[in-house]
Amino acid sequence: MGHGHGHGHGHGANADRRHLTAALILLVGFMAAEVVVGVIANSIALISDAGHMLTDAAAIALALVAMSLAARPARGAYTFGWKRAEIISAAVNGLTFVGLVVYFVYEGVRRLVEPPEVQGVLVLVTALAGVAVNAGAAWLIARADRSSLNVEGAFQHILNDMYAFIATAVAGAVVWLTGWSRADAIAALVVAALMAKAAYDLLRDSGRILFEAAPAGANPAEVNAAIAAHPGVTGVEDLHVWTVTSGFPALSAHVTVTPGGDCHRVRRELADLLRERFRIEHTTLQVDHVPGTACRIAAS
């Protein structure tokens, strides 16, 4: 059987944790100040940004916990270890977005109908500070290993929050210069739209892994055809292609070869083919002779 997987990344796990922890500290400090200013300014846009930032902090905290769990070695009944902890973390992040979208759409629409008085200057200044803080946090997380769906989920939280702060800054300037307070509610709805897009992406990607769909670039029909077309192969059965966790695609299959064929050579060649063409390094191939014949074992 051919084994091995490409789950090692160029970034060290300890470095990733440091980057995420620094971003978490930065966000929590600013979020506390933003909640206070949002209440004083009576701005739903700022409060929605603070809520978004709370999910940013939760996303990073979950990412750190998931990274620790995913690093645990395979043991006992957990033959793949706890690697899918990061996928569950990404799914939870997506679900938190959904809840916030519902709330901020409701609150934004309500304030469009009955706009309250909003202090535009406070909104503008705080939002601009938020852009800078989120840019710094995004820079820190971008230095971590974003091939992990877990880390990518945290990064998307930060990036969306930065865009949201830009929308809030524009709304603050409009309220300050024109007195049109509905701009604040419109900014909150823009934030909700950004959250909805991020939620869809995270839930789609994490769902594909949790339901063991084939990874991108490894269409099962194409994989089956490639194996079947290999010299000496007569049939492919029980083909399964899935993703254990981010960057860890896996495949198993039962392959039959021509009478007298060298099963071990075919297995090695198929493992190389799957790695080079489909980037699948963790392969479990049961290679047998056609019923009624014997596999030839090459001399070592």
Classify residue 296: in a domain, yes or no.
no
Asked whether residue 254 falls in the same domain as residue 174, the answer is: no
- Note the pLDDT of residue 228: 95
Which residues sit opposite 242 in a β-bridge? Answer: 250
233-245 sheet: strands from edge to edge: 233-245, 248-257, 282-289
Q: Label residue 173 exposed, middle or buried (CB < 10 Å: 0-12, 13-18, 19+).
A: middle
Classify residue 298: in a domain, yes or no.
no
- Note the pLDDT of residue 293: 54
Asked whether residue 137 falls in the same domain as residue 268, the answer is: no
- Within its chain, how far is the Cα of 193 from the centroid? 19
Asked whether residue 150 falls in the same domain as residue 170, the answer is: yes
Phi, psi dihedrals of residue 242, rounded to the nearest 5°? -150, 180
Work out the end-to-end distance of the chain between its first and last CA atoms, rounded to an integer number of angstroms.
17
Asked whether residue 205 falls in the same domain as residue 63, the answer is: yes
Helix-, strand-, coil-residue percentages of the chain, each rounded to 5: 65, 10, 25
Q: What is the CATH number of the domain that holds 78?
A: 1.20.1510.10
Per-block average pLDDT, block size 10, for the chain (300 residues)? 42 73 89 86 80 76 75 74 76 83 88 85 89 89 72 77 86 90 87 83 87 90 95 93 86 91 91 94 89 48
Residue whose token pair is 């099962």? 220
- Note the pLDDT of residue 12: 58
- Note the pLDDT of residue 253: 95
- Note the pLDDT of residue 74: 72
Neighbours of 21 (CB within 10 A): 14
Q: Can you read off the two tokens belonging to residue 159?
A: 């990036």
Helices (H), 114-247: 120-142, 149-178, 182-210, 220-228
Helices (H), 71-114: 85-113
Asked whether residue 175 falls in the same domain as residue 241, the answer is: no
Neighbours of 175 (CB within 10 A): 27
Dihedral sign for Cα atoms in the order 243, 57, 156, 144: negative
Q: How many structural domains comprise the chain?
A: 2
Supply the range of the domain harboring residue 195. 13-210
Classify residue 71: in a domain, yes or no.
yes
Phi/psi-derived region of residue 292, left when phi > 0, alpha when psi is between -120 and 50, beta in every other case: left
d(CA 227, CA 123): 60
Classify residue 104: in a domain, yes or no.
yes
- Nearest Cα neighbor of 204 from 93, 278, 103, 99 is 93
Q: What is the CATH number of the domain that holds 274?
A: 3.30.70.1350
Residues 6+ apart with CB under 8 A from 211: none
Asked whether residue 49 falls in the same domain as residue 144, the answer is: yes
Classify residue 2: in a domain, yes or no.
no
Residues 6+ apart with CB under 8 A from 147: 9, 246, 247
